[in-house]
Chains A and B, each alone.
Chain A
Amino acid sequence: MRKQSRRQFLIRTGWAGGGVTMLSACGFVPPLPTFGVTDAKDIYTWVQLRPDGRVRFYLPRAEMGQGIDISLAKVVAEELNLPIDRIDCVPQDTDAMAPCQMTVGSQSIENYFELTALTAANLRTHLGSTLAAKHGVATGDVDSVAGGFKLPSGLVIKLEDVIAEEEVIQRDPVSESISLFSKRPAAERRLVGGASENPTLLDIVTGKTTYSRDVRLPDMCYGVVARPPQLGARLVSFDAAAAAAVDGVVGVAQGPQGEVGIVARTPHAATAGLSALAARWQALTESELAAAQHDLDIDAYIEADALDHTTHDEGDIRRGEQMATARIDTRYDTPMAAHAAMEPRAGVAHFKSKGTAGPGCEIWTGSQDPWLVRAAAARALGIDDKRVRVHNCRIGGAFGGRLLCQASIEAAWLSQGTGVPVKVQWSREDEFRHNYVGPQFSTRIQAGIDGRGNITHWHHRMVGAPILTSSMFIPPRLRWAADLVADPGTQRGTELPYAIANKRVSFADKRVPMATGAWRGLGAAPNTFAVEVAMDELAARAGVHPLSLRKRHATDPRLQAVCEGLQTKVPEAQHVGFAATAYKGVTFVAVAAGVETRNGKPRVSDLWCVHDCGFMVDPDRVRAQIEGNLIWGVGMALQEEFVLENGLAATDNFDSYPIPRITDSPRMHIDLIASELPPSGAAEAAFAPAAAAIANAISQATGRRHRRLPIRLA
């Protein structure tokens, strides 16, 4: 192992260069999110052993509350035979590692568990074989023991003493044939699959954790950007001289799209500078305003025959209709929704016009995709991707809303324009007004059931808006091409987990003026809401138990099993609603909601959940994710609705966009299915059926079917 040369290589060139984001260098293609999973040949720098015996672990995922740091740290510790508190997780750094897939879609364990195990196991075997060579014994005779290796003589050598006084960074590509301790039978594992301490919590509870909002550089100044009073309004004029004259203002700078911003010594001086700047905007015209105030109405789309994508067309809907003894023809609507993460985004950037290799920029961000931030910043600054280094930070909640951390890009061009390091901190209002939102969905389902309880047909028609081909990333000139694609994010959740012979699913992903995009689970929650309320209506028509109907039609035995589990778990009570899902076909969840009446008002009192996501690296973090997902169900069912008014978010803080409080939090009863099947995801699966279960329970309690969210319980 030539570790020294490797280290020099890292310092000299780092990793900047590889990966999907290079596409953006050609100018025509916009900076795009990082879709590809890291190649196994590029993972060997993630795990580094320091001379003091601590392990530096470059976390290949963004940590935003899902607990991927503790989960993957366990894997590293397991492979190296070290206690968990010897692993120091370092957030992503675009100069220290090859590009990692954007942290989305509940895929971190699915795609990075084994890669992490491989790189740590590779370090273990390299150290083992180095030791064997040093002592003239066979590699197979050196055993991994707690904290190090045992030689045939019985001598134990600590891991850090194998190659003393040097940092060990692997140079050789990872061999995929290594035996992984993380995949041994449960009885032989120390950490993976079980409970352990979580060393990262100490910094969180003492206020020491650094989010991007907390980053401070020497001589750092504060930037603010003039923002339009209506989305899409054009900047007409501003008074740079008046702004520059304000005490504490360092400079006025313009961005690549003609944006204008202020940099000042203190945040309040920046605010004072912004008001002196007196930016004037051309108001939207009546017709632009009318277009912005879109409302997606499935019946209008059906009438106009405007559903351009058909994803399922099996059997014959008309024949099914003839066989049915009871039918539904019902419409379901969910509104636009905000992420409302607790940390409004912020970024710090330091642009240096005279670096050793020309101009360059260092950025601290909180992003689900720091390589996207790198590409977008390079584009804004007019420099090469390789000249931008992005340090990721722990994120104060993302939920799909932090693919791009726009504040970092703003900080970059403000730093370029003023020559000082700049921090840009979005306000809560900025966060609601200037990011993308989860789209509105409008659905019509026609379905029927026969006298024996078989579903005869299922005709699902939906209109939503683009998610993966978000207007946030696809510039206007390329949208016509993006719109030819049936957006996989928008349709998620319309693939039925039930066997129905006559089935047709079609939809439209209408590009609306408001930028729409990823929101926890993409289409899964809105579409599962429609599907699972419709299933409940069919069960009621047929007079069968709602879970029995689902079990009878479930195509996967694991979906049947969670429904079965839920049925035995939930006490016979009057007002209980049910829902289930096979999230992306890989995570199986059944949820029940119980409603009680308090002060004459229905309230969700209990949520039951049975959850099967395959093997769980950290069952406690899986449970925590489910708890969060179920609460999100409460918010979606009863509270959340993003409203655009006069071209701007009218819901711009927590008074107008309420999210669940502790007083809205029901008792939770969660069963995790123990499994050795391949791990899937838990970060958004339980959210998908939660709102439907709640709506079904409230329909029972109120005697009136609720098909539009949020349900306002007056």
Chain B
Amino acid sequence: MRINGSEHTVPEAWRQSNLLSYLRDHLGLTGTKYGCGKGLCGACTVHIDGKASRACLLPLRALEHADITTIEGLATDVDLHPVQQAWIDVGVPQCGYCQAGQIMTAAAYLEDNPAPTLTGIQAAMSGNLCRCGTYGRIQDGVLRAAEIAREAS
């Protein structure tokens, strides 16, 4: 499988693991978070072949040849992803723990919906929980990210 652009072969001792534990505990890519272990909160959201997916539910053996992007691989060497920049501009994070998942979900949503609507944002983001209550700013952040992406293109 590919993770953030580089090829990986899973060592024997980790084959029984799920993607989240493999990323965090073996590779040290700790930006992706554990929140519930059951796909209920979205904290572990990564992109698999461009789609937002829950890493805590995915056994590694189901991911042969998958192309995986985590929060660590979202920015280019030069620029933050528009969603990351927007999150800073709007001051979205409080504790910040859920925000990698929020950002990955928002980035996948904007990829398919460059002109987001409020109802679209609500539907796309409704599976990502934030206990600090940053939802108002998440909504503003997605709108701002769309603006940044438009300005850049």
Contact = CB atoms under 8 A, between A and B. Distances in A.
Contact of A344 (B31, B34, B128): B34
Nearest to B138: A662
Interface in B20-69: 21, 24-26, 28-38, 40-41, 43
B119 to A, nearest CB: 10
Contact of A206 (B35, B38, B84, B130): B84
B33 A396 contact: yes
Given A205-B88, A210-B30, A630-B133, A653 B38 contact: yes
Contact of B129 (A67, A620, A654, A668): A654
B103 interface: yes
B131 A662 contact: no
B135 A662 contact: yes
Given A65-B94, A65-B132, A205 B99 contact: yes
B132 A397 contact: yes
A547 to B, nearest CB: 24
Nearest to A664: B135
10 contacts: A65-B132, A206-B31, A206-B75, A207-B31, A210-B30, A342-B129, A343-B33, A427-B37, A624-B137, A628-B132
B100 A663 contact: no
B32 A64 contact: no
A662 B125 contact: yes
B21 A342 contact: no
Interface string B92-133: 011111111001000000000000000001100111111111
A205 B87 contact: yes
Interface of A: 64-67, 198, 201-202, 204-211, 213-214, 216, 222, 248, 265-269, 339-344, 394-399, 425, 427-429, 620, 624-625, 627-632, 653-655, 659-663, 665, 667-668
Nearest to A65: B95
Contacts of A429: 37
Given A64-B95, A665-B133, A213 B33 contact: yes
Given A205-B88, A662-B139, A65 B126 contact: no
Interface string B127-153: 111111111111100000000000000
Contact of B17 (A205, A211, A268): A268
B13 A65 contact: no
A632 B23 CA distance: 32
Contact of A342 (B30, B80, B98, B135): B98
A342 B95 contact: yes
Highest count of chain B CB atoms <10 Å: which of A248, A265, A662: A662
B121 to A, nearest CB: 8
A425 B130 CA distance: 20
Given A628-B134, A661-B129, A204 B99 contact: yes
A665 B103 CA distance: 18
8 closest A-B pairs by CB: A207-B31, A396-B97, A65-B95, A631-B133, A207-B71, A628-B133, A65-B94, A665-B135
Contact of A201 (B29, B93, B98, B129): B93
A651 to B, nearest CB: 13
Given A65-B94, A205-B99, A207-B32, A342 B13 contact: no
B130 A624 contact: no
Nearest to B18: A268
B133 to A, nearest CB: 3
Highest count of chain B CB atoms <10 Å: which of A205, A209, A211, A340: A205
Highest count of chain A CB atoms <10 Å: which of B36, B96, B121: B96
Interface in B71-96: 71-72, 74-75, 80, 84, 87-88, 91, 93-96
A214 B136 CA distance: 27
Given A205-B84, A266-B26, A662-B126, 10 more contacts: A65-B95, A206-B74, A207-B31, A214-B24, A266-B14, A267-B25, A340-B131, A428-B37, A624-B137, A655-B38
A620 B134 CA distance: 13
Contacts of A204: 87, 93, 96, 99
A251 B15 CA distance: 22
A628 B94 contact: yes
Given A210-B30, A668-B136, A659 B129 contact: yes
B145 to A, nearest CB: 11
A210 to B, nearest CB: 7
A355 to B, nearest CB: 27
Contacts of B126: 661-663
